[in-house]
Amino acid sequence: MTRMNFLKTKNYMKPISLFFMKSTLTTILFMLIALTSISQYEEHVNYHITVVDGMSKAEEGTFQLTITPKYNPVFTDDLLYFIEAQRDENKDVRISLMDCAELFIPSREKVNSPSFVALDLYSH
């Protein structure tokens, strides 16, 4: 290969390798951001319950979630069992599920009262 051909080849390789370097760095950055977001969400959940036969589930309107507006957490049906397990006879209960979500559980006495008004599922 003559010196002139080598120089021409080198000039063509520079834009291609720069493109691959930028796309690789962008991909790595995206993956790091995604993994950081997932790990931050998972470490804040602080409730767990083992569901067994015969456990009662909370009915819609008998509890309320207060969620910070910029978040949209996802909860499983296990939360309904957890709510009933945490419900007190006479006292209202507030539980922080994660930094962006709080759970309000009115007492059984209040829920069973004829004057009880169903709660909206979410409050901001």
Q: How many CB atoms lie within 10 A of CB 72?
A: 8
| CB of 104 closer than 8 Å to CB of 92 | yes
To the question of pTM greater than 0.95 for the whole model, the response is: no
- The pLDDT value recorded for residue 33 is 67
**Range with the poorest average pLDDT among 10-14, 27-31, 47-51:** 10-14
Domain residue spans in the chain? 1-44, 64-123
Question: Whole-angstrom Cα distance, residue 95 to residue 105?
Answer: 8
Kindly state the percentage of the chain with pLDDT values over 70: 67
- The pLDDT value recorded for residue 116 is 94
Residue 8 backbone phi and psi in degrees, to 5: -65, -45
CA distances from 106 to 23, 25, 84, 86, 119 (A): 53, 51, 10, 10, 10
- The pLDDT value recorded for residue 22 is 72
User: What mean pLDDT value characterizes the chain?
Assistant: 76
Q: State which amino acid sits at residue 101.
A: A
